[in-house]
Amino acid sequence: MGAKIEKLLTQGEAVLRTRKHQQGVMGGSEERVDRNLFGVWAPNVGALVRSVLGESSEHYQRIKNELRTTWPSSTEVIIAVLRSMLDAVNEGYVFDFRGLVRADVESDLISQASDLLDAGHDRAACVIAGSVLEAHLRDIAASWGVIVTNAAGKHLTLGPLAIELKKVGAFDGIMQKKVDYLAGLRNEAAHGNPFENRAEDVRRMIADVLDVCDRVKGK
């Protein structure tokens, strides 16, 4: 993760070096950075900060408007946030904190899924268990340098996310197949497909989700 941030910092410095005065739309001269370079770099920064720290984080809120403008001052703000983020990652603050919170949330939701299953709500239990798995993989993906959104800014679903995590060595092909199976079961429940008499499947799914969460960790 630190290497990815450092790469974005290097790219940001290159963007900043393109600053020059140009004719403004209202006349006069204004300073801007290269629009094409900024247009490639800024979305990558936004996706990384959002996936690592969350959309509501102070760091993302600070840069979200700056990502839309090519003022040199906006580039400087983004670079400053990346440097702050790199310090936090290098000190271990980001992932230690997120790991503790994630473990608490996962435990609570899995407990809810088990209670729903015992009460005969197989579909709801399956959807919750699948959501726990997806949230876990999305959270640990950042530490492996995996961007969890696609080109349109939408979150990767379990299947594509598993492919990306396997590519970077977060798990092997056997684990990927397990995630794909669990994703398929969750999709059957979530999309209204027939789902009667699946209690044992969901019970095994909950156990498998716990196994994946226990074995697949951040880097």
Contact 141, 148 (CB under 8 A): yes
pLDDT of residue 198: 86
Determine the Cα–Cα distance for residues 11 and 206; give it in Å rounded to an integer: 43
pLDDT of residue 92: 63
Domains with residue ranges and CATH for the chain? 2-91 (no CATH), 93-215 (1.20.120)
Determine the Cα–Cα distance for residues 85 and 50; give it in Å rounded to an integer: 12
Q: Give percent of the chain with pLDDT exceeding 90.
A: 31
Give the pLDDT confidence of 39-48 residue by residue, as tens digits. 889 888 887 7
What lies within 8 Å, CB to CB, of 120 at 6+ separation is 199
Model confidence at 57: pLDDT above 90: no
Contact 198, 126 (CB under 8 A): yes
pLDDT of residue 5: 85
Residue owning tokens 């969901």? 202
Determine the Cα–Cα distance for residues 125 and 200; give it in Å rounded to an integer: 12
Give the pLDDT confidence of 85-140 residue by residue, as tens digits. 888 777 665 554 455 445 555 667 788 888 888 888 889 889 888 888 988 898 88
pLDDT of residue 192: 75
pTM, entire model: 0.54
Give the pLDDT confidence of 144-183 residue by residue, as tens digits. 988 888 877 788 888 899 999 999 999 999 999 999 999 9
What lies within 8 Å, CB to CB, of 42 at 6+ separation is 67, 68, 78
> Please, what is the average pLDDT of the chain?
84
**Pair type for strands 29-32 and 20-23:** antiparallel
The gap between the terminal CA atoms of the chain, to the nearest Å, is 9
pLDDT of residue 100: 42
For residue 95, give both structure tokens: 């992932």
